[in-house]
Amino acid sequence: MKIFKPISEKKAKGKVKKIFNEIKHSRKIKKIPNFWQSLAHNPETLERTWNNLKQIMKKGALDPITKELIYVAVSITNNCEYCIRSHTFAAKKKGATDQMIKEMIDVVGIANQNNKLVNSYQVEIDKIYK
Amino acid sequence: MKIFKPISEKKAKGKVKKIFNEIKHSRKIKKIPNFWQSLAHNPETLERTWNNLKQIMKKGALDPITKELIYVAVSITNNCEYCIRSHTFAAKKKGATDQMIKEMIDVVGIANQNNKLVNSYQVEIDKIYK
Amino acid sequence: MKIFKPISEKKAKGKVKKIFNEIKHSRKIKKIPNFWQSLAHNPETLERTWNNLKQIMKKGALDPITKELIYVAVSITNNCEYCIRSHTFAAKKKGATDQMIKEMIDVVGIANQNNKLVNSYQVEIDKIYK
Amino acid sequence: MKIFKPISEKKAKGKVKKIFNEIKHSRKIKKIPNFWQSLAHNPETLERTWNNLKQIMKKGALDPITKELIYVAVSITNNCEYCIRSHTFAAKKKGATDQMIKEMIDVVGIANQNNKLVNSYQVEIDKIYK
Amino acid sequence: MKIFKPISEKKAKGKVKKIFNEIKHSRKIKKIPNFWQSLAHNPETLERTWNNLKQIMKKGALDPITKELIYVAVSITNNCEYCIRSHTFAAKKKGATDQMIKEMIDVVGIANQNNKLVNSYQVEIDKIYK
Amino acid sequence: MKIFKPISEKKAKGKVKKIFNEIKHSRKIKKIPNFWQSLAHNPETLERTWNNLKQIMKKGALDPITKELIYVAVSITNNCEYCIRSHTFAAKKKGATDQMIKEMIDVVGIANQNNKLVNSYQVEIDKIYK
């Protein structure tokens, strides 16, 4: 099949155009990334996803850099190349250093290993953790 | 089969006993968690895993709380209950608040969703991310 | 290493040739897709996989479009690009509309998110679901 | 650690109480399932997740039974027991027959197998699928 | 919902009964494991799965112990407790030693870690491997 | 972002240079694969990963070919193309035949299928496996 191709800003109308503008303004970017151009095939999904992401990734008890690093850690575990690249980009833009990224990667590596060691031995949960 | 049962501290000898003592001292705990008791079936694996974990989770460019939260984020994505519980425990012990944990969970949720939306549309990587 | 390269129809013999012909006839296609050409390295696997797929994907209590959409939903979750593309193609050929595909994608997205929220909170199963 | 325990309806206040009532009314159920009681720790997440789910799972080009089956297919692939059980329950309530569920399971099985066979042979995408 | 409960041997009829007998005879066991009792809800699936498994797991270029260890390695990676336990049981019955199992576990651990390190760095494939 | 690019041998210094030399000598290769060149961004990670891998993959109760096949089986399940290709290469170099690889693939396929069938039916663990 032809996977849905990205919808360029020129072709954007109505709700899609409005959200595209909000993304560009909010992110201070000039070009809408392909992810949002793809979601534009389904304006409700575009709107929902953008609103959810904005709400979740904003500064809270965790700072935006930490949130981006957690996002990348999940994306590495799921092997989503687009997500790894775009959110490492975002993390760096927000101030993440190379050293921070490398330490995050190490944690992702050992966590994935230990998750499987736990499965291997079917380790019972200690009382203290219940 | 009988999965390898945890090896209690009483039965620990040699290298295993030494590492058990190091774990208790380093973590300021009185009882060796089941994870380490299970790995004790393979003293080399116990030693390697403990040394790697110690090296990776120590304070660096990222603080220990952030590292624990990343560890939990991976464990949620892989659905490792033991790992989720034990490392949320560790995160809290190191100072993570409930609010920090809840925000981490939200990031894990949206990242898992968006990872799959990217797969769905087979989104091409923007030049800016390459 | 060289991963096993597809075996072209010209080189197909015996059981492989017979199944290639059956695939072309049954699917009303002129060229054997690379998936089947790859499996041809192992004629028993080719035969088994083709027979299983034919048996499972045929019209039953679920119509073939629904079955293809479920197949794609799994393939998105596992991030198998070839599988996403070839079975979206099949779904469309059998009558799936763009709107149906977009709604399937939304379900896949929210299911992947909620699966992880359930892991995060280690939600206990309600009595009514047991 | 103590994972966040479900918040019972008696303790629900404000936004949480309002959404709990909406869930009970919309689903025609008398008891709030543990999933929603768990999300109540984070009222914004509860509201967002409920609104998203309602919007996505409603009748559209796909009927609600098909959407539930797709949801279960994803949950089987991710091995989320709570999700498998609660959404099979929902599928049946909406009219899914045992035969439909069994056929969905078969598709999930073969898709997971073939996804990995494709990985094994690193099958190149046929031109027709691009 | 009620997940399909296992179908006991007493209630087995026709094709199911025949396959149950073949499983008991072939495996030299007296009781049909719950896996096969569950698949019995769908006699075609039971038959197909049994025939496929028998064909795949038999001695070939790889000996049956190696095949069982590979099966367990996949099941650990997917965290399927039933599969881990039943196929470790089978591996041991066929002659796998504890040491072999422990070494398999170590390989599964490091492979899962390195798979993610490769994702992290998006490592390009060396010419020699193409 | 720019993902960390591989560090060529010419630019390697200190610990990295030492390990690069050890890898070349131990593997009898002339060029450092991209995986190790990427890890070189983090000399401690490079050292740890190389030492762990060497320790785990060496001949033990399992022969090196079996270990490589298990490694590839995990990598197929996780869909890590680099890992599939580089460790199939290693398996062949150590003596694995095409027939052995094809049988491993079949086991990976059926295990992935059956893992999900077990999830579907939420099969309870038989007493004999506990």
Average the pLDDT over C77-106 and give the result.
Answer: 97
Closest CA to C36 of C2, C6, C74, C71: C6
Q: Please give the single-letter amino acid code of residue D56.
A: I
Looking at residue B7, the DSSP 8-state letter turns out to be -
Q: What is the pLDDT of residues C40-70, one digit of tens each?
A: 999 999 999 999 999 999 999 999 999 999 9
CA of D90: how far to CAs of A68, C61, D11, D86, in Å?
A: 35, 18, 26, 6
Contact C80/F at CB under 8 A: yes
Q: Please give the single-letter amino acid code of residue C98.
A: D
Burial F38-71 (b: 16+ CB within 10 A, else e): bbbbbbebbbbbbebbeebbeebebebbbbbbbb
| Superfamily, domain D1-58 | AhpD-like (1.20.1290.10)
pLDDT of res. F66: 98
Other Cβ atoms within 10 Å of C26 Cβ, number: 10
| Superfamily, domain C61-121 | AhpD-like (1.20.1290.10)
Percent of chain A beyond pLDDT 90? 95
The reply to whether D60-130 shares the fold of D1-58 is: yes
Instruction: Give residues 31 to 50 of A whose Cβ lies within 8 Å of D.
Output: 44, 48
Q: Where are the alpha helices (DSSP H) in chain F?
A: 14-27, 34-39, 43-57, 64-77, 81-93, 98-121
Is the CB of B1 less than 8 angstroms away from the CB of E79? no
Average the pLDDT over C91-103 and give the result.
Answer: 97
Contact C76, C108 (CB under 8 A): yes
Burial class (CB in 10 A: 0-12, 13-18, 19+), A118: buried
pLDDT of res. D3: 77
Contact A52/B at CB under 8 A: yes
Residues of chain D positioned with their CB less than 8 A from the CB of A44: 55
Q: What is the pLDDT of residues E98-108, one digit of tens each?
A: 999 999 999 99
Contact C43, C15 (CB under 8 A): yes
Query: Which of C37-41, C105-109, D34-38, F3-7 shows the lowest mean pLDDT across its residues?
Result: F3-7
Q: Where are the alpha helices (DSSP H) in chain C?
A: 14-27, 34-39, 43-57, 64-78, 81-93, 98-121
Contact D118, C82 (CB under 8 A): yes
Q: Tell me the backbone φ, ψ of residue F46, rounded to 5 degrees.
A: -60, -50
Q: Which residues, 6 or more positions from A25, have their beta carbon under 8 angstroms from its beta carbon? A: none
Burial B56-67 (b: 16+ CB within 10 A, else e): bbeebebebbbb
d(CA C108, CA C85): 16
pLDDT of res. E3: 76
Confidence class for position B1, pLDDT limits 50, 70, 90: very low
Is the CB of B75 less than 8 angstroms away from the CB of A115? yes
Burial E62-77 (b: 16+ CB within 10 A, else e): bebbbbbbbbbbbbbb
Q: What is the pLDDT of residues D64-80, one digit of tens each?
A: 999 999 999 999 999 99
Other Cβ atoms within 10 Å of B79 Cβ, number: 21
Q: What is the pLDDT of residues F65-80, one digit of tens each?
A: 999 999 999 999 999 9
- DSSP class per residue in A7-69: PPGGG--HHHHHHHHHHHHHHT-SS--HHHHHHTTSHHHHHHHHHHHHHHHSSSSS-HHHHHH
3-state secondary structure of E80: coil
Q: What is the pLDDT of residues C26-47, one digit of tens each?
A: 999 999 999 999 999 999 999 9
Closest CA to A19 of A86, A3, A41: A41
d(CA B87, CA B107): 17
Confidence class for position E76, pLDDT limits 50, 70, 90: very high
- The CATH code belonging to domain E60-130 is 1.20.1290.10
d(CA C73, CA C71): 5
Average the pLDDT over E58-72 and give the result.
Answer: 98
Domain ranges of chain C: 1-58, 61-121
d(CA D61, CA E23): 44
**Rg (Cα) of chain B, in Å, rounded?**
18
What distance in Å separates residue A97's CA from the closest CA in chain E? 15
- DSSP class per residue in B54-109: HHHHSSSSS-HHHHHHHHHHHHHHTT-HHHHHHHHHHHHHTT--HHHHHHHHHHHH
Contact E115/A at CB under 8 A: yes
pLDDT of res. D21: 97
Look at residue B2 and tell me whether its pLDDT is greater than 60. no
Residues of chain E positioned with their CB less than 8 A from the CB of A112: 112-113, 115-116
| Superfamily, domain F60-121 | AhpD-like (1.20.1290.10)
CA of A76: how far to CAs of A82, B66, B115, C5, in Å?
A: 10, 17, 10, 29
Closest CA to E77 of D117, A75, B79: B79
Q: Where are the alpha helices (DSSP H) in chain D?
A: 14-27, 34-39, 43-57, 64-77, 81-93, 98-121
Average the pLDDT over B8-17 and give the result.
Answer: 96
Q: How many CA atoms lie within 13 A of D7 on its CB side?
A: 16
pLDDT of res. F2: 59
Count of positions (residues) in chain B = 130
Inter-chain CB pairs, A–E, below 8 Å: 56
d(CA D117, CA F112): 10
Q: What is the pLDDT of residues F93-115, one digit of tens each?
A: 999 999 999 999 999 999 999 99
Distance of CA D64 to the CA centre of its chain: 12
CB nearest to C85's CB, from A1, A78, A80: A1
Look at residue A90 and tell me whether its pLDDT is greater than 80. yes
Contact D70, C110 (CB under 8 A): no
Q: Minimal Cα distance from B3: which residue of E?
A: E85
Instruction: Give residues 14 to 33 of A whose Cβ lies within 8 Å of B.
Output: 31, 33
Q: What is the mean pLDDT of chain A?
A: 96
Please determine, looking at this structure, whether the domain spanning B60-120 carries the CATH number 3.30.1330.100.
no
Q: Is E80 left (phi over 0), alpha (psi -120 to 50) or beta?
A: beta
Average the pLDDT over D102-127 and give the result.
Answer: 97
Q: What is the pLDDT of residues F30-52, one digit of tens each?
A: 999 999 999 999 999 999 999 99
pLDDT of res. E130: 86
Q: Tell me the backbone φ, ψ of residue A27, rounded to 5 degrees.
A: -95, -5
Other Cβ atoms within 10 Å of D43 Cβ, number: 18
Look at residue F1 and tell me whether its pLDDT is greater than 50. no
Q: Which residues, 6 or more positions from E12, have their beta carbon under 8 angstroms from its beta carbon? A: E20, E40
Look at residue D122 and tell me whether its pLDDT is greater than 60. yes
d(CA A102, CA B56): 10
Percent of chain B beyond pLDDT 90? 95
Contact C1/D at CB under 8 A: no
Look at residue E2 and tell me whether its pLDDT is greater than 80. no
Closest CA to E83 of E73, E93, E98, E95: E73
Residue with tokens 């191709």: A5
Look at residue A1 and tell me whether its pLDDT is greater than 50. no
Confidence class for position B130, pLDDT limits 50, 70, 90: confident
